[in-house]
Structure 1
Amino acid sequence: MILDYLSKNEYITRKEVERLCGFSPSTSKRILKELREQEKIILEGQNKSSKYKFKK
């Protein structure tokens, strides 16, 4: 669902992941971390301004 969202939008935030997928904050952080480790997405920014994008 996250990768599908990113295929249609430039970026996604952790809050959007929580809202779209119904995940808790800890689950959304874990899934986003796994996607970063798999090099499917990259993190831009820090703290509340963090955004996740497809890795080019």
Structure 2
Amino acid sequence: MSEKRTIPNIDQLAKLTNSLELAKETEQQAKKLCELAEKFALKYKNCLTEIEKN
């Protein structure tokens, strides 16, 4: 039997493209969130260090 190959239609390609763009945007937002979390953790650590000094 010959294998059937389906060609995605334009709507499917548009949905996939949109999903990919959303995934990239989500990844960028996640990276920014991680950076903010790291900055917060550093400030929190510095604050605790100051409290311990006093």
TM-score of the superposed pair, with normalisation by structure 1? 0.31
More strand by share: 1
Q: Which has the larger radius of gyration?
A: 2
More helix by share: 2
TM-score of the superposed pair, with normalisation by structure 2? 0.33
